[in-house]
C-alpha cells in the first residue's frame, strides 16, 4: 500500500524547502504526500522576504479533510506558523494513536531568517511530547534545551535532557558543526526498543545547495517509518536520500540553492526483499578502446581506474562498468537490496546457494555473489552514494 504522509509545514515560494521539498522527498520515496500548509513565505535562495501565517482554523481544517477521507500512515511537522497553531496541531494529532510523527523544529531558514518567534518555540514542547522523533540541528538543540552544545559531550547532555523531559527520540543533526566529517546522533528513550544512542558519520559534501536539507530529511524519515522500518533504519535511509539529493543539486539561484530530490532515482532500493537492477559489469580486453566506445554511445564516464576498470552513468541513473580483471569472464548483473543481509538470509532459506556471503568491499560496496541456473554471475549488493558518487568520481564527469 502506498504510504500516506501528512505534511504540516510552510510553503517556500523558491521551491527549495518547506512543503515543496517535503512533497518531492515523499514522492521520490514512493509515498503519497498530503499537506496542511501553516504559512506562506516569499523567499528564494538568498533570503525570506515575507511570511504570512495561515489561520489556525484553516490549518486544522486541512488536517481534518485529508485524514477523514484518505487516511494517514505518518506525519511530518515543519514550520508551524504560530504558537496557537502549534498547540492546536498537537491537540489534533493526539487523536491519531499509533501513527509515527516526525517533528522538525524549524526556527531559522538556511539564509538566516527567523521562522518562529519565542512564543511558538515555547509551544514546541507540546509537539515534542506527542512526536516519535524530533530532528533539531545544533542551534535548534540549544534553543530547545537551554543548554550548551559546544562539543560532543554537551550535545549529548542537551539531547538526553530533551529525551528525558519530552519522552520522544531526538535526532541531533551535525551539519552546523565544523570539520570535514558530518555526524548525526539519535538518542532514544529508555522505554523504546531502539539503542539509547546511534551515530552516523559521513564525509561532508562541499556544496552551497543545502536549502531544504532538514525538511527533506524529516519527510524521508516519516515516509520510511510509514513503511514499517524501525527508527534507526528509517534515519539510515533518509540520510542516504538527503546525501544523494545534495549530489544531484541543480545549482539554481545565487545563494543557498535547492537540492535535487528529483535526481534520486535508482540509488535507493528501500525494500527488504525486492532487488533493484541498476548496475552491470562486462569484461574488456582493451580498456581504452572500450572507454571510447561507450562514451561514443553517449554514456557519461564517472570512474576511471586504468588499466583495470571504468564505470559509466546512463540516463535515469543506472550504471555500467567495464573490467579487464581475469575474474570477469562474462557479464555480472548487479541487483541492489535495501537490506542485503536480510535478503541473503531469506534467500538461503529458500534453497538459494551463494558463492560469496555478504562482505564489505574496499570500494565501499557490500556484496554477496551467486549464479543463476544457467551459470550467469549475479551480485546482490548495497552501495548507496558509492555507486554514482564515490570519492574518486571523475570531477568533470
Cell numbers for 71, please give them. 487516511
Provide mean pLDDT across the span 56-76: 98
How far is it, in rounded angstroms, from Cα 395 to Cα 391? 10
Task: At 197, give phi and psi (nearest 5°).
Answer: -150, 130
Same domain, 56 and 120: yes
| Active-site option among 24, 76, 142, 173 | 173
Give the SS3 label for residue 56. helix
CATH code, domain carrying 183: 3.40.1190.20
Same domain, 284 and 222: no
Same domain, 211 and 120: yes
pLDDT digits (tens, 9 = 90+) for 25-57: 999 999 999 999 999 999 999 999 999 999 999
Task: Give pairs for 95-99: CB < 8 Å, separation 24+.
Answer: 96/67, 96/72, 99/72, 99/73, 99/74, 99/75
Provide mean pLDDT across the span 365-375: 97
Provide mean pLDDT across the span 316-344: 94
Q: What is the pTM of this model?
A: 0.91
pLDDT at residue 114, as a whole number = 57
Same domain, 241 and 306: no
Same domain, 170 and 225: yes
Whether 175 is a known active-site residue: answer no
Q: Output b/e per residue, 141-163; b: 16+ Cβ within 10 A.
A: bbbbbebebeeeeebeebbbbbb
110: confidence class by pLDDT, cuts 50, 70, 90: low
Same domain, 253 and 374: no
- 146: in domain: yes
Provide mean pLDDT across the span 211-238: 96
Whether the per-residue pLDDT at 357 is higher than 70: the answer is yes
Same domain, 287 and 322: yes
pLDDT at residue 296, as a whole number = 96
- 393: in domain: no
pLDDT at residue 395, as a whole number = 81
pLDDT at residue 150, as a whole number = 86
- Please state which of the ranges 104-108, 232-236, 310-314 shows the lowest mean pLDDT: 104-108
Of 203, 229, 263, which one is at a domain's C-terminal end?
263
| Active-site option among 131, 134, 168, 215 | 215
pLDDT at residue 321, as a whole number = 98
pLDDT at residue 75, as a whole number = 98
pLDDT at residue 383, as a whole number = 94
Same domain, 256 and 283: no
198: confidence class by pLDDT, cuts 50, 70, 90: very high
Of 263, 294, 316, which one is at a domain's C-terminal end?
263
Provide mean pLDDT across the span 210-237: 96
Same domain, 207 and 71: yes
Whether 215 is a known active-site residue: answer yes
pLDDT digits (tens, 9 = 90+) for 71-97: 999 999 999 988 899 999 999 999 998
- 397: in domain: no
Looking up cell 497553531, which residue turns up? 85
Cell numbers for 336, please give them. 541492489
Same domain, 215 and 292: no
Q: How many CB atoms lie within 10 A of CB 296?
A: 8
| Active-site option among 56, 85, 132, 210 | 210
pLDDT at residue 108, as a whole number = 64
Cell numbers for 147, please give them. 543548554
Query: Over the chain, what is the mean pLDDT?
Result: 93
pLDDT at residue 310, as a whole number = 97
- 269: in domain: no
Number of structural domains the chain divides into: 2
CATH code, domain carrying 331: 3.10.180.10
pLDDT digits (tens, 9 = 90+) for 335-347: 999 889 999 999 9
Peptide bond between residue 365 and the one before it cis (omega within 30 degrees of 0)? no
Whether 214 is a known active-site residue: answer yes
- 268: in domain: no
pLDDT at residue 111, as a whole number = 57
- Which residue(s) pair with 8 in the sheet? 36, 77
Whether 314 is a known active-site residue: answer no
Instruction: Tell which phi-psi region holds residue 121, choosing left (phi > 0), alpha (psi between -120 and 50) or beta.
Output: alpha
Same domain, 94 and 133: yes
pLDDT at residue 393, as a whole number = 95
Of 204, 234, 263, which one is at a domain's C-terminal end?
263
Same domain, 327 and 239: no
pLDDT at residue 121, as a whole number = 80
- 106: in domain: yes
- 155: in domain: yes
pLDDT at residue 109, as a whole number = 59
Whether 14 is a known active-site residue: answer no
Up-side HSE of residue 356: CA atoms within 13 Å toward CB? 14
- 310: in domain: yes
Whether the per-residue pLDDT at 397 is higher than 60: the answer is no
| Domain hosting residue 203, numbered range | 4-263
| Active-site option among 38, 110, 213, 281 | 213
Whether the per-residue pLDDT at 9 is higher than 80: the answer is yes
Question: Do the strands 74-77 and 32-44 form a parallel or antiparallel pair, or are they unpaired?
Answer: unpaired
Enumerate helices (H) and strands (E) in the chain, giving the number of each.
10, 17
Whether 379 is a known active-site residue: answer no
What strands lie across the sheet with 332-336, from one edge to the other? 300-305, 309-313, 319-323, 276-283, 332-336, 377-382, 366-371, 354-360
How far is it, in rounded angstroms, from Cα 4 to Cα 33? 6
| Active-site option among 14, 16, 78, 212 | 212
pLDDT at residue 112, as a whole number = 59
Amino acid at each position: 500500500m502506498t504510504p500516506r504522509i501528512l505534511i504540516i509545514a510552510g510553503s517556500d515560494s523558491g521551491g527549495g524547502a518547506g512543503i515543496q521539498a517535503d512533497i518531492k522527498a515523499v514522492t521520490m520515496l514512493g509515498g503519497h504526500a498530503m499537506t496542511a500548509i501553516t504559512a506562506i513565505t516569499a523567499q528564494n535562495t538568498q533570503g525570506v522576504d515575507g511570511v504570512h501565517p495561515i489561520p489556525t482554523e484553516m490549518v486544522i481544517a486541512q488536517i481534518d479533510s485529508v485524514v477523514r477521507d484518505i487516511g494517514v500512515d505518518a506525519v511530518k511537522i515543519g514550520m508551524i506558523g504560530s504558537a496557537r497553531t502549534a498547540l492546536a496541531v498537537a491537540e489534533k494529532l493526539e487523536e491519531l494513536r499509533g501513527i509515527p510523527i516526525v517533528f522538525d523544529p524549524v526556527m531559522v531558514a538556511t539564509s538566516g531568517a527567523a521562522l518562529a518567534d519565542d512564543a511558538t518555540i515555547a509551544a514546541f514542547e507540546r509537539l515534542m511530547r506527542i512526536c516519535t522523533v524530533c530532528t533539531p540541528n545544533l542551534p535548534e538543540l540549544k534553543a530547545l534545551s537551554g543548554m550548551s552544545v559546544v562539543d560532543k559531550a554537551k550535545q549529548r547532555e542537551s539531547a538526553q535532557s530533551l529525551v528525558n523531559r519530552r519522552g520522544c527520540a531526538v535526532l541531533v543533526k551535525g551539519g552546523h558543526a565544523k570539520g570535514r566529517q558530518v555526524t548525526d546522533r539519535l538518542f532514544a528513550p529508555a522505554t523504546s526498543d531502539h539503542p539509547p544512542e546511534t551515530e552516523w558519520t559521513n564525509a561532508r559534501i562541499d556544496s552551497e545547495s543545502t536549502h531544504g536539507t532538514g525538511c527533506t530529511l524529516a519527510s524521508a524519515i516519516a515516509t520510511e517509518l510509514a513503511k514499517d522500518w524501525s527508527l534507526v533504519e528509517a534515519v539510515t535511509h533518509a540520510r542516504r536520500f538527503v546525501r544523494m539529493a545534495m549530489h544531484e543539486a541543480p545549482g539554481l539561484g545565487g545563494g543557498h540553492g535547492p537540492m535535487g530530490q528529483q535526481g534520486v532515482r535508482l540509488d535507493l532500493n528501500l525494500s527488504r526483499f525486492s532487488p533493484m537492477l541498476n548496475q552491470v559489469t562486462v569484461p574488456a580486453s582493451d580498456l581504452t578502446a572500450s572507454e571510447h566506445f561507450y562514451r561514443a554511445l553517449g554514456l557519461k564516464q564517472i570512474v576511471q581506474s586504468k588499466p583495470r576498470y571504468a564505470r559509466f552513468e546512463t540516463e535515469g541513473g543506472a550504471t555500467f562498468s567495464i573490467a579487464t580483471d581475469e575474474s570477469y569472464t562474462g557479464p555480472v548483473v548487479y541487483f541492489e537490496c535495501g537490506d542485503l543481509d536480510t535478503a541473503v538470509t531469506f534467500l538461503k532459506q529458500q534453497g538459494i546457494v551463494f558463492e560469496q556471503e555478504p562482505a564489505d568491499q574496499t570500494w565501499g560496496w557490500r556484496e554477496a555473489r551467486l549464479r543463476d541456473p544457467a551459470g550467469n554471475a549475479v551480485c546482490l549488493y548495497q552501495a548507496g552514494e558509492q555507486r554514482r558518487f564515490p570519492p574518486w568520481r571523475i570531477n568533470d564527469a
